[in-house]
A and B are shown apart, each in its own frame.
Chain A
Amino acid sequence: MNKLATYTLVLAFCVGAYYAAVAAEKTTEPAKEEAAQAAPAEAAKEPVVCFESRKGASEITQREIQPGWPNVKCSPTTGAALWYGDPFDGTVPMGKMPLLDKIPEGHALVKPRSEKLAILPMCGTACHNGVGPAFSPPKLPKDKKAVPIPTMEGLLPEVKDLQHGRGRIWCLDCHHTTQRNKLVDHYGDPISFDQPQLLCGKCHGDKLRDWRDGIHGKRIGEWASTGKKRWFTCTECHNPHNVQDGARNKGFVQLQPEPPPQLPMGMKDGKHEKLHPIAH
């Protein structure tokens, strides 16, 4: 019995080795051809840019970190970021935050927002520059009523109908009086646009506390409580000018959903789901 087993085993290994060798030769050739065809097609493509949380906030440009390993994968239907190859792409240290002492240096990262805010560098130079009839003599606004300026409304349509604070706040409660490319804190000191949490936490203290502990908002990277993470700041997800838009029921702007799952076999649409066993 054992002799028979040994012979069969030897035979089997010989045949197996032969077929493996044949298989290896065949597979290498088509792979080369495919690679040659794919190379020019990829070079011709435009760079893919996808949005991260909401449209109009932080964006990310697709590129290859290693061959076959992109920094991000984007949705072909909605243009949203779907998968991160490198969660720390384009980030900088968050800077000092009160009560975040337990996190080691350099483990809290943010993506600078000021680069993406297209008109921000112009605010302090083009219009709010302290030059012109409105500034001579230099004066501060007498009341807290926004003066409609057509240029401003053209640049930022949502300020025409500010949906934040139910009419109780106005521009200079958040924006700095003299430095228009900065936000303002309770003492009148400027806050960078990259640290909006210092401003928003003035009123939304409960949300700031939850955000600081990682319960509110989004963080990507390492899951350990002291791990290296990229923190999403307030304005990356919320548009502070229209958080109370009545057309939706949440603080987040509406967006296009990804396509639905595959329908059960033989079904044309998903209407069967709306049929309840009891008619109403």
Chain B
Amino acid sequence: MAVNDKSPAVQGKAEVPENSAPPASADPSKAVLKTSRRDFLRGGGMLSLSSLMGTAALMSHSSDARAAIEWAEHFQKNYRLMTPEEKNEARIRLEKRYSAEYGKTVTVDTTEAQPGVLMGYALNVRKCIGCRRCVKACVAENNQTRGTRPGERIEWIQVLRMERGEFSKEKMDHGYPEGLGIQVGGNAYTPAGQVLEGQYHYEPEAVPEKDATYMPIACMQCEKPPCVKVCPVRTTYREADGPVVIDYNWCIGCRMCMGACPYWARRINVANPVLPKEEMNPVTHYLGNRPRMRGVVEKCHWCLQRTRQGRYPACVEVCPVGARKFGNLLDPESEVSLILARKNVFRLKAELNTFPKFFYFYD
């Protein structure tokens, strides 16, 4: 009986000759799918099983607004496969849920990428004074967890403090191996120029310190992101205007992306996120700063809720020295394009061929 039910579908697929199939595309909207996930679940036994489990989960859960929404989220598609109507449904559902949870009107934006925009970022490493204001601005904007217990505090930007090396006459021929004098100015023990081991937990009374340089590191929004390559559920992907984003609802928390990222940019919510109601930022984007749940990975997305509406990212706006620059790489008049044209620019770990859209420069 069951075989007979399925047979038309099998025959339909078999009729398509193999050589006429379009080439495989990384874009899921172009993927050839005969049945969607929803259609599949609609089939008899799976639905009854799922709904029973869902009911059980609902009954065991604490009685808040979140539980009612989780029911619908259980059947939600991957964000990239959703139709505009389904995205709108998801938006309304989340707005209702977050508004009840945080006691204020929360908006969840679903604005798509605009044509003719490729976001780019540039940072002047010579200017950075290591004050960490960008780090805290990011937390204020992007609804990260901010508890006190281990794993309850997440910051997307790390500021790396690096000591300056030294050139001194008496150490000139102290190379490695000892006595050979193979390196001029600095050696394996006291390198010249930058010392590669940096410190994240520096805490001086005042910055900038005289013998230190600072290097903020966050997501580089690579053009060829290793994290996207490894994601087993394809929940992280590159948006058309540049940023690499995450659909938090489909993240399974496997941390493959964290291992793949060469820039230490991704964070996981190992504990239940701690986000006080009064500190919560009510202007959110679905792929951006909406509150996350436990067990999902998050990272910088260039403040999508701001940049899609034309505003600078939060870190750009608070940098007291104006070291952070943001703009459209396709606009030759934009700040980032002018920096690329005029200044000395480098990418972090360029040898990995990840092609970041985050550029470091100095003048």
Contact status B310-A214, CB under 8 Å: no
B184 to chain A, nearest CB (A): 18
Q: Is there a chain B Cβ closer than 8 Å to A215's Cβ?
A: yes
Query: When the two chains form their complex, are residues A9 and B317 in contact, meaning their CB atoms are under 8 A apart?
Result: no
Q: How far is the CA of A229 from the CA of B339 in the complex (A)?
A: 18
* A-side contacts of B44, CB under 8 Å: 1-2, 4-5
Chain B CB within 8 A of A112 CB: no
Report chain B residues within 8 Å CB of A24. Answer: 65, 100
Chain B residues within 8 Å of A226, by CB: 333
Interface pair A215/B338, CB less than 8 Å apart: yes
Please indicate the chain A residues that have their CB under 8 angstroms from the CB of B54 in the complex: 12
User: A22-B63, A227-B310, A260-B201 in contact; A83/B320 too (CB < 8 A)?
Assistant: no
Q: Does B254 contact A (CB under 8 A)?
A: no
Q: A20-B68, A23-B63, A270-B200 are in contact. List 20 more A-B contacts (CB 8 A).
A: A19-B67, A68-B282, A82-B318, A83-B141, A213-B338, A215-B343, A223-B328, A224-B331, A225-B333, A237-B321, A249-B210, A254-B207, A255-B207, A256-B207, A257-B206, A260-B200, A263-B201, A276-B195, A278-B188, A280-B190
Count class of interface residues, chain B: 35 or more
Within B309-362, the residues touching A (CB, 8 Å) are 310-312, 314, 316-322, 325-328, 331, 333-335, 338-339, 342-343
Give the contact-size bracket for chain A.
35 or more
Which residue from chain B places its CB closest to the CB of A23 in the assembled complex?
B63
Interface residues of B (CB under 8 A from A): 44-45, 47-48, 51-52, 54-55, 58-59, 63-65, 67-68, 71, 100, 103-104, 126-127, 129-133, 135-137, 140-141, 150-151, 153, 155, 158, 188-190, 195, 197-208, 210-211, 278, 282, 307, 310-312, 314, 316-322, 325-328, 331, 333-335, 338-339, 342-343, 363
Q: Is A124 an interface residue, CB under 8 A from the partner?
A: no
Instruction: Identify which of A24, A75, A225, A227 gathers the most chain B CB atoms within 10 Å of its CB.
Output: A225
B53 smallest CB distance to A (angstroms): 10
Across the A-B interface, give the 6 residue pairs with the lowest CB-CB distance, nearest first: A270-B201, A218-B322, A20-B68, A1-B44, A258-B132, A254-B206
B321 touches A247 (CB 8 A): no
- Is A148 located at the chain interface by the 8 A CB criterion? no
List which A49-90 residues lie within 8 A (CB) of chain B.
52-54, 67-69, 73, 75, 78, 80-84, 87
Q: DSSP class of A's interface residues: helix, strand, loop or mixed?
A: loop
Residues of A within 8 A of B48 (CB): 1, 4-5, 8-9
Interchain residue pairs with CB less than 8 A apart (29): A9-B47, A15-B58, A26-B63, A26-B64, A75-B136, A78-B131, A82-B133, A82-B136, A84-B318, A102-B333, A214-B327, A218-B321, A220-B312, A224-B310, A237-B321, A250-B129, A252-B320, A255-B207, A258-B133, A258-B135, A259-B132, A260-B201, A262-B153, A270-B203, A273-B199, A277-B197, A279-B189, A280-B189, A280-B190
Q: Quick one: closest A residue to B214, CB to CB?
A: A257
A26 to B133, CA, bound (A): 39
User: Across the interface, do A258 and B136 meet the contact criterion of CB distance under 8 Å?
Assistant: yes
A194 to B328, CA, bound (A): 30
What is the CA–CA distance of A124 and B73 in the complex, to the nearest angstrom? 68
Could you say which residues of chain B place their CB within 8 Å of the CB of A279?
189
Give the CA-CA distance A38 to B104 in the complex, in Å.
14
Inter-subunit contact A83/B137 (CB<8 Å): yes
Most chain B beta-carbon contacts within 10 A, residue among A34, A80, A257, A261: A257
B200 close to A257 (CB less than 8 A): no
Contact B133 A80 (CB under 8 A): yes
State whether A237 touches B67 (Cβ < 8 A). Answer: no
- Is A216 engaged at the interface, CB distance under 8 Å to the other chain? yes
Query: In the complex, are the beta carbons of A5 and B59 less than 8 A apart?
Result: no
B310 and A223 contact, CB distance less than 8 A: yes
Q: Is the CB of B207 within 8 A of A80?
A: no
Across the interface, which residues of B come within 8 angstroms of A263, CB to CB?
Answer: 201
| A31 and B63 alpha carbons, distance in the complex (Å) | 15
Residues of A within 8 A of B103 (CB): 31, 34-35
Closest chain A residue to B198, Cβ basis: A273
